[in-house]
Amino acid sequence: MEELAYTLNDKKGVEITYTIVQYASEDVFDFMPNGGTVRKAKKQNGKWVQLSGADTDPEILQELGGFMDRHHMHQEDGNQ
């Protein structure tokens, strides 16, 4: 299990910190905005989709998924 934090500004300029929890699969993760309710995302056909929880802006979801993709690339390169 890995737990990461990712901070971004939404379309209104409000800063949101997402806690991202990933278990065994690199293609699935749970995420919580500002410690809120748990949501789940999965990579399907090269794109991140939300599986459960309150609706998340698709652009934010892709940004979170891109962050996770970059994180895995760095791990594979040995740059943990």
Instruction: Determine the Cα–Cα distance for residues 9 and 60; give it in Å rounded to an integer.
Output: 9
In the predicted model, what is the mean pLDDT of residues 5-27?
93
Q: What percentage of residues in the chain have a pLDDT greater than 70?
A: 95
pLDDT at 78: 65
Burial environment of residue 41 by CB neighbours within 10 A (0 to 12, 13 to 18, 19 or more): buried
Structure tokens at 50: 């939300």
For 28-53, what is each residue's pLDDT tens digit?
999 999 989 999 999 999 999 999 99
In the predicted model, what is the mean pLDDT of residues 13-27?
93
pLDDT at 11: 87
Q: For the beta carbon of residue 3, count every other beta carbon within 10 angstroms.
A: 9
Structure tokens at 23: 């278990």
Instruction: Determine the Cα–Cα distance for residues 70 and 77; give it in Å rounded to an integer.
Output: 11
pLDDT at 35: 87
pLDDT at 10: 87
Alpha helices in 1-80 (DSSP H): 58-76
